[in-house]
Structures are given as C-alpha cells and as structure tokens.
Amino acid sequence: MFEKIFAQIQEELDLNADQKYREKIRDHFKMDVSNFLGVRIPLVRKIADKYFRELKGLEIDEILKLCNQLLETKIYEHKVIAFQWSFKHKNKYQKKHFKVFEGWLKTYVDDWSDCDDLCTHTLGSFIDRFPEFIPNVKTWTESKSRWLRRASAVTFIFMARKGEHLDTVFEIASTLLLDEDDLVQKGYGWMLKESSKAYPDEVFEFVMKNKEVMPRTALRYAIEKLPAEYKKAAMKKA
C-alpha cells in the first residue's frame, strides 16, 4: 500500500517543483539543493494532509515506520511530510518513541529548518508528555553536532510557549551561553524569547546577569518581546 502512496506523493511533488524557487531558497536554508525538490512548504503540507487521510486506521508504530522510510530518502520535502505525520500522532506517543525521535534528530537533521520542524513539534510535544526525558535532552548541549545543541534549546519552545519549565530553560541557556555557533545562539535566544512572554522579569534578569558575555545574536533574540525599557537597558553598553 505504501509503495503506491509513496509514488503518488512523489508524483505530486514533482508536478509542483519550482526550479526558480529551488535556487532562491538555497541561500535562505543554507542547504544542499540536490536534496531539495523546490516545492513550496504550504503545498508540501497540503500533500502531506491529503495522503495522511489514506493511512487512517494504522497504529502509531506503523505510521512512524512509514515516516522513517520517507526520511531515509533525505529529500527535504519528504522530511517535512514525515515530521508532520509524526506530530499528528502526538497524543499516542509512548516512552519507547524517544529513541525513534532522537534517532531521527541524529541521523536525518542537517539544516536549521529540519531541526526546528522536528523539535518544536514532535520532540517538544513528546517531552511535554514525558518530562522524565528532560535529562536526555540536556545531554545534547554537550554534543559536537550543532544541530543537537540547537535542538536542546528549540525542543523547549513547545513548553516555553505555555510558560513551563523555566528553570530548565535557564539551565540550558546557561550551558549554551558561550557557544560560538550562531545557529545555536539563535536557538537558545529564541527559547528565551518564548519564555519571556510569560516571565518577562525573570528573562530580563537572566539577560542582565549575562549580558557582558552573552553573544549579541542570542541577546537580541532573547529580548525581542520584552518591554521597550527592558530592551533599552539590555542593549545599553556598560
């Protein structure tokens, strides 16, 4: 069954591929365009929804197996579909699925868009459901992989948007504070920004405590949603 659906998905993607868009997006995503068909993301998501309906009745483990088959192609649009399908089953996640999702992160994520798509949805909702895996996520902060380090922060955006796990947010931000990779800096800065919506005073205090060593990129992300007077104080040079 899936072979037929896979062929139909690929046919629709090929029909909607845009070579000019493919070249234009190369610099934006900073990706190897050989793995990018050039289909606009809203169209990819419509295709994902269309064929997901044909998989109705399958158990989550079967769905994740199909997602894995899509990910194995390493084609960007296939990854979008796989991550969307997995997120649609967020209420059926089981503890055993952490190894699956962490395996996807380590094996198939190779750009910031992949990282954010997987982490702010599937992985974030998994950790929200099973917070006992938070220590596992914290270990990613020490990884040599820029994507795992970014993932350690952006996974908590799902919870930060609900005003949860502030202590963990600060712990991860502190560990990543001096990371030299700008994509990691943007990742933990984004996490702080989301937390600042519920805890503006606490995030401001964290920023002020660390502003002398905090990379400017991370700082700007972190204070984006703070009140104007907080922004001014944070950006003021000593």
Which sequence spans correspond to the domains of the chain? 1-92, 111-238
CATH code for the part of the protein at 111-238: 1.25.10.90
**16-to-11, 22, 71, 75, 141 alpha-carbon distances in Å:** 9, 11, 20, 15, 38
Distance CA 70, CA 82 (A): 6
**pLDDT in 10s for each residue of the chain, 238 residues:** 678 888 999 999 999 999 888 888 777 666 666 788 999 999 999 999 999 998 888 999 999 999 999 999 999 999 999 999 999 999 999 999 999 999 999 999 998 999 999 999 999 999 999 999 999 999 999 999 999 999 999 999 999 999 999 999 999 999 999 999 999 999 999 999 999 999 999 999 999 999 999 999 999 999 999 999 999 999 987 5
The structure's pTM equals 0.93
